[in-house]
Chain A
């Protein structure tokens, strides 16, 4: 799957977009867990919802290998 990052998630991961190769299809919650293992600082963003193929989904949503996942944490500037 391809992961697209914004805001503080981009700063933590350091890549705007990257391929994340999972052995099997993952739920959003499982993907978050795996990403947090790799990037522990993401742990503080665990409540951020993921958008898959252009749509916000719940934590139990199953992500397929050809999906695009966007991580969009809140920003506050004005």
Chain B
């Protein structure tokens, strides 16, 4: 027997039911479908809200994070009172209130090579709203290995990308996937995340909503999906393009000579465990408590802040401002005869600065502030704004 709707459901979905090409059959396909949303952040928020409102039968939500105040600028799924609560829990509560006819399953965990196949196998479509390259390759590979469609979106500052990967084509083959578009991850540290590079709040709203629309099209068969095409947009200049994308013969998953038949170590693949990280770990460090006692004991030391002036304005430790990209211009102002503590937001840029100063200019008195001003705000001075 085909899926039935109650009177209340028919009334709730009536604006769908009267679209000629959508009608009750499209609504039935939605109700019969299971969608997994990986990441309930900027993209996940509109995705989950619209998929829930639209009446997808079952929605899985994967996220290991808790709601943070800095999420609320764009993650419209959450409210002030959700701060500190696991995202999946806050999301389920809000979404169940929006549509009682949807079944939710939550996974308060990080998607990994160990659990990905097991979680994804029970769903028809996956929507990737994750925020890092290792997980993007993981979601892609798991979807290809399990023959699932992967509806993709990704954002950066004012820019977004949307596509539909591994879509089942009429001839029975699968459309291009993430590895056809980006065969290799960028070198680690080159492309900043939203936390590092920032993002305009409405951008994930735009991209996640387009992503939700593609999920609905994939499920119902209405319209033409973005399979084989990449939508790219810069919201600042309003440049948009839809680019045709083909399959890459050398795709290791399903190219002409597939070499990869299972999930791999994606942190390693994306070079997170690289020599650069190891080198950065070799710089001398002090922690935030040691910095505090330095200043309390009136020891002579120099504090240098290698962030940008606009970050200094948000919060600072009254260090000497010498932005990383111009650090070499300040070499003459860096002390050589006392202890020098260098800090940034979280400790990555300051480690880079120290490596440059040690290798090119022979400094031996530089100490990296472990965890940066964020850690200082957490543990020493709670009046400082975290960003």
Give A residues with C-beta under 8 Å from B. 4, 6-8, 10, 16-17, 44-45, 47-49, 51, 54-56, 70, 72-78
Q: Given A44-B187, A73-B186, are A78 and B241 neighbors across the interface (CB < 8 Å)?
A: no
Name the B residues within 8 Å of A54 (CB-CB). Answer: 241-244
B187→A74 contact, CB < 8 A: no
Q: B residues 218-258 with Cβ under 8 Å of A?
A: 230, 232, 234, 237, 239, 241-246
CB within 8 A of A76: which of B44, B154, B204, B230?
Answer: B154
A72, chain B: closest CB distance, angstroms: 6
Name the A residues within 8 Å of B234 (CB-CB). Answer: 6, 10, 16
Q: Chain B interface mostly helix, strand, loop or mixed?
A: mixed
A75→B243 contact, CB < 8 A: no
Q: Is B302 an interface residue (CB 8 A)?
A: no
Name the A residues within 8 Å of B239 (CB-CB). Answer: 4, 16-17
Name the B residues within 8 Å of A44 (CB-CB). Answer: 186-187, 190
What 3 A-B pairs come out closest when comparing CB atoms? A75-B156, A77-B194, A78-B131
* Complex Cα–Cα for A75 and B199 (A): 12
What would be 23 A-B contacts, judged by CB atoms less than 8 Å apart? Answer: A4-B239, A7-B156, A45-B186, A47-B183, A47-B184, A48-B182, A51-B241, A56-B230, A70-B241, A72-B230, A72-B243, A74-B133, A74-B185, A74-B186, A75-B155, A75-B159, A75-B161, A76-B131, A77-B155, A77-B194, A78-B42, A78-B43, A78-B131
Q: Which residue of B lies closest to A48 (CB)?
A: B182
CB within 8 A of A78: which of B129, B187, B191, B197?
Answer: B129
Name the B residues within 8 Å of A72 (CB-CB). Answer: 161, 230, 232, 243
B interface, how many residues as a size bin? 35 or more
Q: Given A51-B243, A70-B241, are A77 and B154 neighbors across the interface (CB < 8 Å)?
A: yes
Contact with A along B181-212 (1 / 0, CB 8 A): 11111110011011001010000100000000
* Complex Cα–Cα for A46 and B42 (A): 29
Q: Is B60 an interface residue (CB 8 A)?
A: no
CB within 8 A of A56: which of B130, B133, B245?
Answer: B245
B143, chain A: closest CB distance, angstroms: 16
Q: Given A8-B186, A8-B190, are A76 and B132 neighbors across the interface (CB < 8 Å)?
A: yes
* Complex Cα–Cα for A23 and B243 (A): 27
Q: Is B39 an interface residue (CB 8 A)?
A: yes
Q: Given A16-B237, A16-B239, A72-B243, are A78 and B194 neighbors across the interface (CB < 8 Å)?
A: yes
A9, chain B: closest CB distance, angstroms: 10
